[in-house]
């Protein structure tokens, strides 16, 4: 049977087209594989997050088991992340709830991770709430010997994270959570977080405002954990034989702006009227303060002013940033004077100051990066001018670190951590040797 030339040509054309289509598909598949290569995929990273609204009495093992049950309903990528879950702390928040911190490793973005977590929690009926902002009070550790415990309250600096500020670089170790309770067990460790994000911050809060919220948060937390308030129908004043945690000795740790908030909060507590006595115990029971690079006379970082110019938070930054020639702001001068009047020998103050320059912040592609010119952010004079003038009351210690590195320790055996630890230990020991630490006379100063 003869085959026409037209048919042969048709078959040939169809074959060529098929080969071309096949090659095109192979090329597209190869390109897709190249685009999906590991170097273009989001890399897994560690998240430290807070778990709240945990029913009181829940153990760490039960909490971890409950969170791992989310793998049954979660998407595959969240299942993989939950396999890396580690509970790092679990402490009492009040009579009804506990609070935990945990780490998880995932390529998910922060928004996707917590959206998936909350959806999975609702699906299995668990009441927990998760976040990584750490705003307000986060209890990290509570001593079993609660009657003799001393509160250690850490406040980070400007635009800093409540956990990240104290974290070992490149690791998940947080010295306040992972080392200090092992070295000094008779403490309760609390973190305080607040939002002073630099970019696109719509807040008009001043240092006075931020300090007031610190005062209210700490006072409320210490009241809410009173044994008598939590478990007894009697009033706090009637239950003298039970522990009142608002009367525990307090050690404040303040980094940079956080130290200014501590000073102002304590001044506000000192000045609180007798008609509102709930704040007085915080001032009366403060047995020690540790300042890390606190700009009592101002912070040398003029680049910050440019970044926030025209924003609602400009006044906050302007109040703490100085150039090489300018004097401290009216607020900084006032708070140092007030602090000197309130604290005159009863409370020990330790000031650590940086000896290395820090890179300033620059804007690149809409994001901040520490790539600017290096400066000594807080000078020795600024970091040690607390307002207290008595030479015998000074305890000023240099550290070979930059401004951020002052509160980030490499290991539990690092010399700088050991120095800080022993200062805290001495505060705790002194407080334990005093039967009633409410010994400051709030009427002694003008």
Residues 230, 242: Cα–Cα separation, whole Å? 11
Q: Write down the pTM of the prediction.
A: 0.86
CB atoms near residue 423 (< 10 Å): 19
HEC string of 94-120 equals CCCEEEEEEEEEECCCHHHHHHHHHHH
Q: What CA–CA distances, in Å, run from 426 to 171, 184, 193, 371, 431?
A: 28, 10, 26, 39, 9
Give the count of beta carbons closer than 10 Å to the beta carbon of residue 132: 17
**Measuring CA to CA, how many Å separate 206 from each of 196, 213, 316?**
10, 11, 5
pLDDT of 28 strictly over 80: no
pLDDT at 80: 92
Asked if the model's pLDDT at residue 221 lies above 60, the reply is yes
| Torsion angle, alpha carbons of 263, 266, 268, 273, to 10 | -160
| pLDDT (average), residues 261-288 | 92
Confidence of residue 4 (pLDDT cuts 50, 70, 90): low
- The span from the CA of 206 to the CA of 261, in Å, is 10
pLDDT digits (tens, 9 = 90+) for 154-192: 999 999 999 999 999 999 999 999 999 999 999 999 999
Question: If we measure between CA atoms, which residue out of 102, 79, 107 comes closest to residue 89?
Answer: 102
pLDDT at 363: 82
Q: State the DSSP H helix or E strand holding residue 189, giving kind and residue range, or none if neither.
A: strand 187-193
Q: Tens digit of pLDDT for each residue in 338-396?
A: 998 888 767 899 999 999 999 998 887 778 888 889 999 999 999 999 988 654 557 99
């Amino acid at each position: 049977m003869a085959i026409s030339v037209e048919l042969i040509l048709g078959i040939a054309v169809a074959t060529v087209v098929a080969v071309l289509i096949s090659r095109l598909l192979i090329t597209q598949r190869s390109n897709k594989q190249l685009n999906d290569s590991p170097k273009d995929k989001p890399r897994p990273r560690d998240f430290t997050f807070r778990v709240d609204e945990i029913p009181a009495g829940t153990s760490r093992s039960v909490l971890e088991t409950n969170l791992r049950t989310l793998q049954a309903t979660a998407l595959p990528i969240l299942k993989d992340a939950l396999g890396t879950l580690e509970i790092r702390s679990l402490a009492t928040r009040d009579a009804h709830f506990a609070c935990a911190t945990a780490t998880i490793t995932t390529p998910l973005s922060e928004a996707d991770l917590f959206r998936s977590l909350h959806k999975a929690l609702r699906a299995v009926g668990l009441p927990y709430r998760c976040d990584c902002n750490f705003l307000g009070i986060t209890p990290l550790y509570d001593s079993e010997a609660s009657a003799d415990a001393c509160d250690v309250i850490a406040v980070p600096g400007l635009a800093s994270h409540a956990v990240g500020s104290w974290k070992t670089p490149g690791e998940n170790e947080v010295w306040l959570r992972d080392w200090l309770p092992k070295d000094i067990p008779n403490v309760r460790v609390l973190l305080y977080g607040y939002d002073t994000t630099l970019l696109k911050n719509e807040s008009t809060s001043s240092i006075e405002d931020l300090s007031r919220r610190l005062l209210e948060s700490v006072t409320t937390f210490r009241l809410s954990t009173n044994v008598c308030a939590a478990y007894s129908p009697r009033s706090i004043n009637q239950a003298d034989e039970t522990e009142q945690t608002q009367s525990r000795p307090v050690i404040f740790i303040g980094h940079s702006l956080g130290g200014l908030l501590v000073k102002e909060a304590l001044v506000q507590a000192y000045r609180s009227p007798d008609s509102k006595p709930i704040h007085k115990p915080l001032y009366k029971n403060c047995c020690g303060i540790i300042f890390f690079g606190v700009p009592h006379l101002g912070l040398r970082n003029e680049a910050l002013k440019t970044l926030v110019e025209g924003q609602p938070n400009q006044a906050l930054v302007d109040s703490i940033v100085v150039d090489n020639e300018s004097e401290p702001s009216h607020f900084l001068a006032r708070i140092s004077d007030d602090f000197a009047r309130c604290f005159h020998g009863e409370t020990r103050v330790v000031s650590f100051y940086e000896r290395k320059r820090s890179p300033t912040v620059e804007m690149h592609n809409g994001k901040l990066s520490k790539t600017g010119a290096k400066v000594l952010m807080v000078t020795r004079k600024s970091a040690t001018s607390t307002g207290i003038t008595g030479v015998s009351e000074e305890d000023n210690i240099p550290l070979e670190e930059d401004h951020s590195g002052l509160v980030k320790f490499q290991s539990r055996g690092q010399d700088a951590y050991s120095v800080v630890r022993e200062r805290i230990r001495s505060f705790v020991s002194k407080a334990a040797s005093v039967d009633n630490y409410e010994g400051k006379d709030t009427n002694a100063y003008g």
